[in-house]
Chains A and B, each alone.
Chain A
């Protein structure tokens, strides 16, 4: 038989991520009230979404009270993914973008649908399409579509 040159196998890593209290509260609002909240930096006053306790840029805490954001925003950048690979979470082709929600100063990633890529433009206006059934995760928003 031929000399062995390769060993094939797989490693399965089970994980159990805690979202933490802040993100849990963020998703509580998306699930129950279809609301998106951000947190304002006490120093630069920039609003971060999702809300975090620390503004990384300033290394300063964000305010206790959160800022309600619009579910409309501007498309900062986008890409349509065509490349398939094993273990891919979303089957291509799909388009996703970084969205600057009105009132926020950081980008929010999500899928974009109901428009052909060749009609999409950077800085175009988008709005969220909410899921009927929401569980408290990123897909409480189904996707973003062009603003009506």
Chain B
């Protein structure tokens, strides 16, 4: 059995389309400093660093782990770089957890980021497609997810309106998060349905932005975690599973890797009824339809019932299982840090810290009484899925 590990500190940068005042290493340094400050630790207390970032093409600089090595706090420390496409943030968090759970390190800093404004995002994403069978038609991430979304709509009768409701929910939620990029307090379903088509059926407002941002989190073993903070977020379940890309009988509407990852994580955490037992979830919905598909994969509802979930308001802040109080990926997407932000936001919820005063203004996205939170990420040609379950209770 791995030993008990908790998140003891987190840090995020405020995400915008383009940070003109800081370079990529500069942003990483900010996130690391914020996490250290949050945990009231210094670099001397950190035993190892795990760094994550997406494909180097995004910034046109090879080896971002080298470029950001010192900024990550990595001078003369054991260091690793992680990369799993869009879910690199959560894989990096999971790697940080593994370092401590293994018993080899007591306190580990995991940091992620990307500065998407520095390079040609859609072109870079298009190079992810198979070079011979697919790249000629690629339109970044949107066209691949459009293929998934349309199949999903066809299989279960999911509608554009249901997808649009996800955009409305999350962009309104973002108004309560000082770090989120897109805040639309007045967004409506009509606005989403009237926005231009990017890659059918996806419209502009169905799609995430491209952001500059970084995020860091600190994992500690039980003995140290209890000394560092009164409110550790205990890691109760972790799973990272990959499926293939174009394998025999792939059903785009059935995320088999996610179903498996969720099952494994729930089993570790002793969860048998996720919809009832999970208080809040942060899931990687880069595109509106994905919040519905992933909800099904995570067992929040049955197959094909994702639309019903949003129609019934189950996932609103006031609902039975709020999803993405932070505004989710539809509001902020750095790619590199995005999936880690899901873990950080989930940790903040169970730590009771999802509210703060930022530059004189109050922001509150806390789900009251949240004790168990789920964080999810996906990446690649939709083949990597990560699930982490956090709790305020160590046992």
Contacts and interface: CB of A to CB of B under 8 A. Distances in A.
Interface of A: 5-6, 9-11, 17, 19, 23, 41, 44, 46-48, 50, 55-58, 76-83, 85-90, 92, 94, 96-98, 105-111, 117, 122-123, 137-139
A85 B247 contact: no
Contacts of B60: 9-11
A89 to B, nearest CB: 5
Contacts of B123: 85-88
Contact of B247 (A9, A80, A90, A106): A106
Contacts of B188: none
Contacts of A41: 248
A17 B131 CA distance: 9
Contact of B122 (A50, A58, A85, A137): A85
Interface in B129-160: 131-140, 142-143, 146-148, 150-151, 154
Contact of B143 (A6, A10, A96): A96
6 contacts: A41-B248, A44-B248, A77-B151, A81-B139, A122-B151, A122-B154
Contacts of B147: 77-79, 97-98
Contact of A79 (B126, B134, B143, B196): B143
Nearest to B121: A85
Given A79-B143, A83-B198, A106-B246, A94 B137 contact: yes
B138 A89 contact: yes
Interface of B: 20, 60, 120, 122-123, 126, 131-140, 142-143, 146-148, 150-151, 154, 196-202, 244-250, 252
Contacts of A111: 137
A86 B120 contact: yes
A61 to B, nearest CB: 14
Given A78-B150, A89-B138, A46 B132 contact: no
